[in-house]
Copies of this chain bind each other. A is one copy, B any other.
Amino acid sequence: MADPIFKRLCLIGIGLIGSSIALRARRDGLAESIVVYTRRKETLDRARELDLGDEYTDRIGEAVDGADCVVLCIPVGACAAVAERMAPHLAAGAIVTDVGSVKQSVINQIKPHLPEGVHLVPGHPVAGTEYSGPDAGFSTLFDERWCLLTPEAGTDIQAIETLTKFWQGLGSTVDTMDANHHDRVLAVTSHIPHLIAYNIVGTASDLEEISESEVIKFSASGFRDFTRIAASDPVMWRDVFLHNKEAVLEMLGRFSEDLSALQRAVRWGDGDLLFEHFTKTRDIRRGIIEAGQESDVPNFGRDQIEE
């Protein structure tokens, strides 16, 4: 086991991401001690039952007190309020980071509250499942997944390096990029896919002459893939859309334009256009499999799982 990277790691929020960080950090000794903070008593009790930390508290000042790293594992929309409440208690030299899917808004929300000498290094582990809460975590969630750090220019290099080591310890490959660029990339690889998945599942459940039971019965024809994403945490995703509005609206505009072109091809029977489009999209999947970001087993291997 390597030397601990942090003496006192404070997790603010203990859902899927927070509990997965806790489990991996404990497994591999990445922190000398872990403090778990969460607002709801039931969640805190559950975290204790699952043995996710060394200390548990619902008082944020107590939680961050003396911590050399504070990780906000909460919906993006809650960052400003939490930052404001914890700020007076932060230790000098502490690293404050987060795991949100939107980065510029997180910087805007947290930065104004932080005292001098505290290092803000926003982060986003590109990993997750459709489940949420402290029971959903597992220690290998971040293995072979990217973690993106989006520190502003002028951020303490040592703080960035320490956090990079921590995420590598959690299993990730770390990359650093500009927060705005992050938000545009993720709008297309994550936010728009979620919005259209939520949307098609809604459309399908609202049809007059087709029953919900028919949609469910015949879902293996493609639809069920979308329902996984559309089962993701509603609060987290509401906040993502509210806090990455500009990039989401722009990418949605492009998506709709492109869809209109396909729709027109269907209406006018332009088989060549459809064939050409459907052919080029195959290469992207090949690239994702080759990059180790996806399994090449048919149907994601779902039919091979023993339940």
Residues of A within 8 A of B (CB): 77, 101, 126-131, 136, 140, 145-146, 148, 175, 181, 184-186, 188-207, 209-210, 212-232, 234-235, 237-239, 241-242, 245, 248-249, 251-252, 254-256, 258-259, 262-263, 265-267, 269, 271, 274-275, 277-282, 284-288, 291, 293-305, 307
Contact = CB atoms under 8 A, between A and B. Distances in A.
Contacts of A140: 303
A294 to B, nearest CB: 5
Q: Looking at chain A's contact residues, is the secondary structure mostly helix, strand, loop, or mixed?
A: helix
Nearest to A286: B231
Contacts of A207: 188, 254
A198 B262 contact: yes
Nearest to A233: B278
A265 to B, nearest CB: 8
A67 to B, nearest CB: 28
Contact of A229 (B189, B222, B231, B269): B222
A181 B224 CA distance: 20
A184 B208 CA distance: 11
A101 B269 contact: no
B184 A210 contact: yes
Contact of A231 (B224, B259, B282, B304): B282
A188 B202 contact: no
Contacts of A226: 193, 225
A95 to B, nearest CB: 23
A300 B298 contact: no
B216 A275 contact: no
Given A126-B220, A224-B285, A228-B299, 8 more contacts: A126-B218, A145-B220, A175-B217, A222-B229, A225-B226, A225-B228, A225-B229, A300-B302
A181, A267, A293 pick with most chain B CB within 10 angstroms:
A293
A142 B56 CA distance: 50
Contacts of A248: 266
A224 B255 contact: no
A189 B219 contact: yes
B201 A281 contact: yes
Contacts of A267: 245, 249
